[in-house]
Amino acid sequence: MYRYDEFDHALVSERIAEFTDQVRRRVDGRLTEDQFKPLRLMNGVYLQLHAYMLRVAVPYGTMNSAQLKKLGHIARVYDKGYGHFTTRTNIQYNWPALSDLPAILTELAEVEMHAIQTSGNCIRNVTTDVFAGATDEEIEDPRPWCEIIRQWSTIHPEFSFLPRKFKIAVIASETDRAAIRTHDVGLQIVRGENGETAFRVFVGGGQGRLPHIAQEIAPAVPGRELLAYLTAILRAYNLLGRRDNIHKARIKILVAALGIDAFREEVERQFETLRHEDLRIPDDELARIQAYFAPPPFETLPKHSGPFDRALLADPDFARWSRNNVRRHRAPGYASAIISLKPVGGVPGDMTADQMDVVAKLARRFSFDEVRAAYEQNLVLPHVKLDDLPEVWRTLHAHGLATANADLVTDVIACPGLDYCSLANARSIPVAQALSKRLADLDFQEKLGPIRVNMSGCINACGHHHVGHIGVLGVDRKGEEFYQITVGGSPDEQAALGEIVGKSLPAEDVAPAIERALNRYLAIRHEGERFIDTVRRTGAEPFREAIYEAA
């Protein structure tokens, strides 16, 4: 994976010195909260309901064991012994003291991490396929391109004060595991005319109050012109995007208002100038960055593994975990293992410091020192030998990390909601917990198959409710928590926004209502038909009926 060069080190240490001074001036009163707020946000520091919150970037979700161990250390020393993985593949700490922030950021820099641009109206952490470099579906590893975008967008002077935040995701396969069409810009690596790397570009996606699915703006931008093209999009947005109304300031509103064709013309106009400027990615620089992401030295192994096959037969719990949480790998004899952060009744995305230590050790020993954060708020060990999976599972199991529910109905995405967040209208976590307890039976979950349930505690949609196969949105009705349910959303290459089924429900009715919808699915599905495909075939009506049956 990428290692900082002298410029990265200098940039991060200069920023720590700058922010340390800003914290000092805030504490001694030379900076007011109004003056300090935009400065702390640029460094990932929020002031939430109960405390400051620090969001640390995990660039494109890739970490080594030293980094994850450090994240655990910070949780233990400066927080309450845990951290929360987010849908931007970042990690949040809920309880840091203001005065500890310089020390935390200094410790993070020791392992080449920081919190720059994890908030504010700038280009945020770039996300990608959690199986990048491991899946056999990709054209090439998308992470070198993510790293190039990271370097280009970090403290970019022209794009540090955008109308609103800006999120980019990159994939390299037809299968979209990074929800690129819900992003301000989504990039899909394709083969260009001459076989070279090119980018299919989507623009204007976004969730929140006015959700939009991104539209294609270009079919194949040549790789070396990627930064020029991105600059053209950002420049058009920066010049034309609204700044008068925070709810209409995202690029999705601009693209929808102009129409994709007019927006494309504007981008092409900018691109005509920019493509001749000094924004072409030099060949040697691309090669230098790609070298960091060279595949690890996989052993030549047979496709099947005796120890793995024997463990499957010997232990039904291991077999179930393998069935649900293990994914195919490009190298024979290897697999990727999903570490669910969704135990029954747990907080989606939460992980204790001790658990981080455990996974860091597993990554070092069994996965070429790599671990990934998935936007679904899980972790992944990307490169594990099939031979080693039984031992990996036993260790995970001993530490509450082997819940066999990846992509099943209890693998719920949920934002922190009103338990922590100052923007929330309602709690998300207890609703997710109630659902996970009610549907805990894994036989039933496997019978249901893959179902994405996403929950947000407010319309800002950090819990991606619009694109859940089943979405749950917390709303405030005269000081009481209620929940609106949507059906038929999808985050993938067939991205769609869910349809609101009807009036909102009180918290205690949500899990039973979802269970009725799931039972309706079992009753009406065709042979082998996934939940989302049944919804696409029938529309929301059967599920609407089931949800309101008892109400």
Partner 1 sequence: MKVLTANRLSDGRVLYWGAQGLATEALAEALWLDDAEAERALASAAARPDLFVNPYLVEVNAGEPSGRDRFKEFIRSTGPTVGHSRPDIEGAA
In the complex, which residues of this chain contact partner 1 (CB under 8 A)?
Answer: 26-27, 29, 32-33, 47-52, 80-82, 94-95, 97-99, 346-347, 350, 352, 355, 400, 418-420, 424, 427, 429-430, 433, 476, 478-481
Q: Which neighbouring-strand residues pair with 505?
A: 483
Residue type, 299: E
Specify the residue for token string 């949800």: 547
Q: In angstroms, what is the minimal distance from the CB of 40 to partner 1?
A: 11
Q: In angstroms, what is the minimal distance from the CB of 427 to partner 1?
A: 7
Q: In angstroms, what is the minimal distance from the CB of 32 to partner 1?
A: 7
Q: Which is nearer to partner 1, 125 or 352 (CB)?
A: 352
Specify the residue for token string 């998935």: 374
Task: Tell me how far CA of residue 61 lies from CA of 170, 374, 441, 447, 481, in angstroms.
Answer: 12, 7, 30, 31, 33
Q: Which is nearer to partner 1, 303 or 478 (CB)?
A: 478
Q: In angstroms, what is the minimal distance from the CB of 41 to partner 1?
A: 14
Q: Which is nearer to partner 1, 32 or 245 (CB)?
A: 32
Q: Which is nearer to partner 1, 205 or 343 (CB)?
A: 343
Q: Which is nearer to partner 1, 99 or 273 (CB)?
A: 99
Answer positive or negative: Cα dihedral of 142, 143, 145, 149: positive
Q: In angstroms, what is the minimal distance from the CB of 231 to partner 1?
A: 37
The CA distance from 415 to 421, in Å, is 9
Strands across the sheet containing 370-373: 62-64, 370-373, 379-385, 334-339, 326-328
Q: Residues for the chain: how many in total?
A: 551
Q: In angstroms, what is the minimal distance from the CB of 413 to partner 1?
A: 16
Q: Which of 41, 260, 223, 224 is nearest to 139 (CA)?
A: 223
Distance of CA 188 to the CA centre of its chain: 16
Q: Which is nearer to partner 1, 147 or 481 (CB)?
A: 481
Phi, psi angle pair for 127, to nearest 5°:
-115, 165
Which tokens go with 507? Answer: 């918290």
Q: In angstroms, what is the minimal distance from the CB of 18 to partner 1?
A: 20
Q: In angstroms, what is the minimal distance from the CB of 429 to partner 1?
A: 5
Q: Which is nearer to partner 1, 119 or 215 (CB)?
A: 119
Q: Which is nearer to partner 1, 28 or 443 (CB)?
A: 28
Q: DSSP letter at 490?
A: B
Q: What is the 3-state secondary structure (H, E, C) of 169-205?
A: EEECCCCCCCCHHHCCEEEEEEECCCCCEEEEEEECC
Q: Which is nearer to partner 1, 198 or 414 (CB)?
A: 414
Q: Which is nearer to partner 1, 29 or 316 (CB)?
A: 29
Half-sphere exposure of 168 (CA within 13 A, CB side): 30
The CA distance from 4 to 6, in Å, is 7
Give residues with Cβ within 8 angstroms of 550, minimum separation 6. 512, 513, 516
The CA distance from 359 to 395, in Å, is 9
Q: In angstroms, what is the minimal distance from the CB of 480 to partner 1?
A: 7
Q: Which is nearer to partner 1, 148 or 347 (CB)?
A: 347
Q: Which is nearer to partner 1, 25 or 330 (CB)?
A: 25
Q: Which of 159, 65, 152 is nearest to 120 (CA)?
A: 159
Which tokens go with 42? Answer: 């640029």
Which tokens go with 203? Answer: 């623009």
Beta strand pairing status for 334-339 and 326-328? Answer: antiparallel
With residues binned 3-state (H G I as helix, E B as strand, rest as coil), the percentages for the chain, rounded to 5, are 45, 20, 40
Q: In angstroms, what is the minimal distance from the CB of 274 to partner 1?
A: 42
Q: In angstroms, what is the minimal distance from the CB of 342 to partner 1?
A: 13
Q: In angstroms, what is the minimal distance from the CB of 47 to partner 1?
A: 6
Judge residue 284's burial from the number of C-beta atoms within 10 Å of its C-beta, 0-12 exposed, 13-18 middle, 19 or more buried.
exposed
The CA distance from 464 to 193, in Å, is 35
